[in-house]
Homo-oligomer: A and B are copies of this chain.
């Protein structure tokens, strides 16, 4: 977990932060083991997905370097827009240091501040057990399981979990 001396700070992302977000997005998506985004997603498309409304992007900064990022958005339009959705990405070099957990905790507060009454993850790859356990520790429950909905680069078709927590 992040301790105070690790100097991890999480804040809303500015347009210029995309320079630090893009390498993370590219590496995470290229791995083909956690996100549906096509491994070859272009920089322009990544910017649109992560930085443009309705997405609200955040960055986790440590020692002046962006080590993680998350984007918060309504999970549905209109009559479903009280439920938020988040995607989190940690730089491959910064894994195992609690960055994901710190971003998740931050996102719960950020979502509440923006009026969301729940968060829903639509696409938690079941083989990504570290993530599943992390979200569970942060109060998320598995509310659905879709068989074979993800084509994992190494493992082939993998179930996808839907996770949810009230805020």
Contacts and interface: CB of A to CB of B under 8 A. Distances in A.
Number of chain copies forming the complex: 2
A144 B39 CA distance: 27
A32 B77 CA distance: 12
Contacts of A69: none
A82 interface: yes
A152 B120 CA distance: 18
A123 interface: yes
A56 interface: no
Q: Give the interface centre of A32, A80, A150, A162 by most chain B CB atoms within 10 Å.
A: A80
Interface residues of A, number: 37
B78 A149 contact: no
Interface string A109-125: 00000000110101100
Nearest to A34: B79
Nearest to A32: B79
A79 B144 contact: no
Contact of A80 (B36, B78, B117, B118): B36
